[in-house]
Amino acid sequence: MQPQVEKTLLIDDSDIDLFIQRRFLEVCNFSADLNVYKSAEEALHWLKDANNGDVPNIIFLDLNMPEFDGFAFLHHFRDLPLAVKEKAKIVVLTSSNSSKDRDQAFSFPNVIQFITKPLKQTDIEALGKLIETKI
């Protein structure tokens, strides 16, 4: 089975969640290349300097992180180079099931999906269908 996307970025401050989500994405063969960051701020700096070929197709973003949370990432994402904003689509992957968080996340143009942890097979299937229309 061929991966659904070429490059993916997973951002979460929890080692356990990173391990679980990364392993799930690997088992599902979601991406040919999967990068992981424990800090949204570090991921943002990496994206700012990324070469066009390094820009991920999908960014899985946790919202609830200390200091520099997912919403701060989304606000700063708007200032990234156009090549990054055109290519990278964001999937919010969070423990929050708040409709306020969901509505706020979807107010950012690059957010294409809001998933409550943990990732499930049905989430990946729905995301695959969405990717066909958005990427």
Residue 90: beta bridge partners? 59, 111
- Asked whether residue 3 carries a pLDDT value surpassing 70, the answer given is yes
Mean pLDDT across the chain: 94
Q: Which structural domains are found in the chain, ordered by start?
A: 5-134 (3.40.50.2300)
Q: What does the block give as tokens for 29? A: 């063969």
Write a three-state SS string for the chain.
Answer: CCCCEEEEEEECCCHHHHHHHHHHHHHCCCEEEEEEECCHHHHHHHHHHCCHHHCCCEEEECCCCCCCCHHHHHHHHCCCCHHHHHHCEEEEEECCCCHHHHHHHHCCCCEEEEEECCCCHHHHHHHHHHHHHHC
Tens-digit pLDDT profile for residues 61-119: 999 999 899 999 999 999 999 999 999 999 999 999 999 999 999 999 999 999 999 99
